[in-house]
Amino acid sequence: MNAPDPVTARHSLDTTVFRARRDELARRLRAAGGGVAIVPTAPEVHRNRDTHYLYRHDSYFYYLTGFREPEAVLLLVVDGDSAQSVLFCRTKHEEREIWDGFRHGPDGAREAFGFDEAHAIDVLADKLPGYFGNRGAVWHSVGYDTQWDARVFEAINAVRAASRSGQVAPVDIRDIRAVLDEMRLIKDAHEVATMRRAGGISGGAHARAMRATRPGRFEYEIEAELLHEFRLHGAQAPAYTSIVAGGANACVLHYVENDCVLRDGDLLLIDAGCELDGYASDITRTFPVNGRFSGPQRDVYELVLAAQDAALAEARPGQAYDRTHEAAVRVLAQGMLDLKLLSGSLDEVLENGSYRRFYMHRTGHWLGMDVHDAGEYKQAGNWRPLMPGMVITIEPGCYIRPADDVPEAFWNIGIRIEDDVLITADGHDILTLGTPRTVAEVEAVMQN
């Protein structure tokens, strides 16, 4: 019996999921008049000289194919009631497979992933005009990549040059992202299951980081604990550069140096999540380096926690997306007044925006294959309503830098609490629920 190739053994997928997505895209394109959609994967990127960054596929391409190899392009040809999926990919190559690893090749990819046709990537330029001829529209990511823009126009011009043979060039160029973004915004059961597992892995990593933290260790040591837990449980990579920010660093929203020593009495803010099988998780937790919140730290932490609870209460179908943010801001602003960080009335603070001094970002974003995932937040100028299948983050925070008008006890307290939330038919489901969250839970984990 032949042993399974390493790619299939590790990344076996139900390819019917991807075929169903291609069918749905074809249905939507057909309703818009049909045409040819072209979706390339991401290129390999050099890190220095002859080494590359760890390869990561393009999210749109993977969403439709499940195919992880570089140098690949999907064509979806929609004519009337028919639709044809065509993959262009690298050929089998014994020597390159010795150096770089397994390749499916066109025949293997067609069989394994259910494409109607598959060809070598080397013949794409020659064959592309043939797919464009006598089709009214070309769908691709207009303006995203100038090289691909040029390749699309080159193929269109080749069709125009053959007009004497009866070929008619496409006259309509449309952005495929507008269609795919709407599809990606609603997660299917396969996506939800993957994101739930990613959230569980990341939650375990945060708990591991809490147990490993103590005064005198460095931020990068705690980052290493996160990365260890991600890979230990099968995640391929961090979903984004981990933020491991002790003390004053927690008041820098995108701090990623992670090279300072952790001091007794400070807080540690960690914003980190793994990527599993193409899907991101995104969790933030803040906890005391020495395992016990001080009085002021606890006060601010409980405020941010209350803001998150208020936002979660608005996370349900039919609610406008912005309602979670408005709910969190209202709680945070009142808390800032109670802690003497601001003065005036709640209405005044909300109207003049003075709360933004301590809370300057929004309360969440779409989550999926990308950390800041695809999808518009407004429709016709209005915040779109939440729908079952959407996944959002809810991540209120409070960041207090030293200032003459700020009580010294609150200086350098930076706190954010973030979870991944699936909108369901009757409310919401927190995909990262197992991550220690309350003061009691955090302190208990750290003491153990």
What are the pLDDT digits (tens) for 232-287?
Answer: 999 999 999 999 999 999 999 999 999 999 999 999 999 999 999 999 999 999 99
Residue 341 has pLDDT above 80, yes or no: yes
Cα separation, 299 vs 339, whole angstroms: 8
In whole angstroms, how far apart are CA 371 and each of 377, 393, 447?
A: 15, 10, 32
**Once rounded to an integer, what is the mean pLDDT over residues 420-438?**
98
The pLDDT, as a whole number, for residue 10 is 45
Residue 8 has pLDDT above 90, yes or no: no
Phi, psi torsion values for 172, nearest 5 degrees: -125, 125
Residue 5 has pLDDT above 70, yes or no: no
Helix residue ranges per DSSP H, 91-245: 94-100, 105-113, 124-132, 146-161, 176-185, 189-212, 219-232
Residue 159 has pLDDT above 80, yes or no: yes
Residue 325 has pLDDT above 80, yes or no: yes
Cα separation, 362 vs 392, whole angstroms: 12
Cα separation, 393 vs 273, whole angstroms: 12
Length of the chain: 448
Work out the pLDDT band at 12, boundaries 50, 70, 90. Answer: low
Work out the pLDDT band at 9, boundaries 50, 70, 90. Answer: very low
The pLDDT, as a whole number, for residue 164 is 81
User: What share of the chain in percent tops pLDDT 90?
Assistant: 94
Helix residue ranges per DSSP H, 273-418: 295-313, 323-338, 346-352
Active site amino acids: 50, 254, 271, 282, 361, 365, 372, 395, 399, 416, 418
**Once rounded to an integer, what is the mean pLDDT over residues 424-441?**
98
The pLDDT, as a whole number, for residue 296 is 98
Mean pLDDT score of the chain = 95
List, in sequence order, every beta strand (DSSP E) within 273-418: 274-276, 279-280, 283-288, 378-379, 382-383, 391-394, 397-400, 413-416
Q: Give me 121's structure tokens.
A: 């990537």
The pLDDT, as a whole number, for residue 1 is 38
Helix residue ranges per DSSP H, 70-175: 94-100, 105-113, 124-132, 146-161
Nearest to 215 by CA among 255, 293, 259, 267: 267
**Once rounded to an integer, what is the mean pLDDT over residues 284-307?**
98
Helix residue ranges per DSSP H, 114-145: 124-132
Q: How many CA atoms lie within 13 A of 182 on its CB side?
A: 11
Residue 123 has pLDDT above 50, yes or no: yes
Q: Give me 339's structure tokens.
A: 């802690």
Residue 372 has pLDDT above 60, yes or no: yes
Q: For residue 408, count other CB atoms closer than 10 A to its CB.
A: 10
Q: For residue 345, count other CB atoms closer than 10 A to its CB.
A: 11
Residue 4 has pLDDT above 50, yes or no: no
Residue 87 has pLDDT above 90, yes or no: yes
Work out the pLDDT band at 192, boundaries 50, 70, 90. Answer: very high
Angle, in degrees to the nearest 10, between helices 439-447 and 295-313: 120
Q: For residue 263, count other CB atoms closer than 10 A to its CB.
A: 13
Residue 226 has pLDDT above 90, yes or no: yes
Check the CA dihedral 335-338-340-343 and report its sign.
positive
**Once rounded to an integer, what is the mean pLDDT over residues 13-21?**
91
Question: How open is the CA angle 281-283-289, to the nearest 5 degrees?
Answer: 145
Cα separation, 87 vs 76, whole angstroms: 9
**Cβ neighbours of residue 126 under 8 Å, at least 6 residues apart?**
none
The pLDDT, as a whole number, for residue 3 is 40
**Once rounded to an integer, what is the mean pLDDT over residues 111-134?**
96
User: What share of the chain in percent tops pLDDT 70?
Assistant: 97
Work out the pLDDT band at 14, boundaries 50, 70, 90. Answer: confident
Q: Average the pLDDT over each of 9-13, 356-360, 412-416 and give the range with the smallest value.
A: 9-13
The pLDDT, as a whole number, for residue 163 is 83
The pLDDT, as a whole number, for residue 7 is 45
Q: Give me 298's structure tokens.
A: 């606890």
